[in-house]
Amino acid sequence: MKKCAAAKKCGACSSLQIPYEEQLIRKQEYVQGLFLKQDVQMTKGMKDPYHYRHKIYASFYQDRYHHMHAGLYEENSHKHIDSSACLIQHVKANQILKTICDTADRMRIGAYIEDRRTGILRHAYIRVSSFNGDILLVIVIGSKELPGSKHFVSEITKKHPEIKTVILNYNHEQTSMILGRRDKVLYGRGYITDQIDGISFRISSRSFYQINPVQTEVLYKTALELADLKEDETVLDGCCGIGTISLLAARKAKHVTGVEISPEAIRDAKYNAAYNGIENVSFYAKDITSFLKNNRTAFDTVILDPPRSGMGESAMYSIRSMAPKKIVYVSCNPETQAEDLKILKKEYRIKTIIPVDMFPFTRHVECVVLMSNK
């Protein structure tokens, strides 16, 4: 096991000193506690659980000597911790964070101080493609502009040619949100591409895309194996994001309908479908609850992959009324997943529950549940 100097203060990797096999058992037991009358399979883990995060957020701050650092907040506080040597963040992302800080020091660009609303650099968001190593970098500022932005970007991209696009994001608001409402592409096309099981996906700064590419393939393969789609079946992919599950499912099903509240994500989903030559899909930029209430189409299979808050009662009642043959529910929060599925217990039976470890060394776990209509 590796050791992290900031582990006790950070709190993000609460299981860092627990043997990995034991972590997998604990996550299985956690899910089993939520589904007491069901058999939960062993958690699907990783061969190498370090540096798995291909999506990284960091906040900038300066020490008493005015040196720039990029880091996370200490658990239950607003104190910063340098994360440029983090054991779960992608190694290249850690290196880029260090370069940004060094460049800012040389150019005398200060960190944004939220309480005073002064300074410039606020956050960095980095996305690394596991397919080709391309990197998307978003620099978030709290000021009106980034002084010497061309030189700043040139210095970083020279040292890290893997960075294929740099986006400047403006966030002047007092908020815990990382990204502000306005973007400006400083370098490149504004997006990168990645692949899952041979299908290419465009990733922009606001795209939802899983953080762990190795386990993403495991997660989606598990979900689609449980769905056991046939070529004459129709599928609803609720909360479809940029169309990852939708396009993978379309290779097996007759037609897939993807629904996602984010217009930017649906734009990427449509692009991804066209780029991959997949025509038996339709995408709608709508709230899933309102879509289900107004839906008059019958679906053989429903696949759900909502945010941590879950689907909610209204959406689950609408799905129950729709009466699909199978429901595959993928969740990053098994607690809200278990609550949602209680609404279906009279008409559906749980057939399979499989936890997938997308977040080694943390308490979090993804969970895939297959339900069939009684």
pLDDT for residue 9: 78
What is residue 53's DSSP assignment? B
Tokens of 42: 């062993």
User: pLDDT-derived band of residue 169, with 50, 70 and 90 as boundaries?
Assistant: very high
Query: Which ranges of the chain would DSSP assign to H, the alpha helix?
Result: 7-10, 20-34, 91-106, 149-159, 213-227, 244-250, 263-275, 288-294, 313-322, 334-342
pLDDT for residue 38: 95
In tens, the pLDDT along 214-264 reads 999 999 999 999 999 999 999 999 999 999 999 999 999 999 999 999 999
- All structural domains of the chain, each given as residue ranges with its CATH number in brackets, are 12-48+212-373 (3.40.50.150), 55-196 (2.40.50.1070)
pLDDT for residue 74: 79
Nearest to 57 by CA among 132, 118, 139, 153: 139
pLDDT for residue 361: 96
Q: Residues with catalytic annotation?
A: 332
pLDDT for residue 197: 95
pTM, to two decimals? 0.93
pLDDT for residue 357: 98
* CA pair distance 4, 338, nearest whole angstrom: 34
The pLDDT of residue 18 is above 80: yes
- Nearby residues of 338 by Cβ (< 8 Å), 6 or more positions away: 34, 35
CB of 227 closer than 8 Å to CB of 303: yes
The pLDDT of residue 150 is above 90: yes
Mean pLDDT for the stretch of residues 70-80: 82
Mean pLDDT for the stretch of residues 122-138: 97
Give percent of the chain with pLDDT exceeding 70. 100
pLDDT for residue 109: 97
Nearest to 187 by CA among 204, 202, 165, 162: 165
In tens, the pLDDT along 5-14 reads 777 778 788 8
Mean pLDDT for the stretch of residues 143-169: 97
Measured CA distances, 80 to 60, 128, 192, 241, 333 (Å): 9, 24, 30, 31, 27
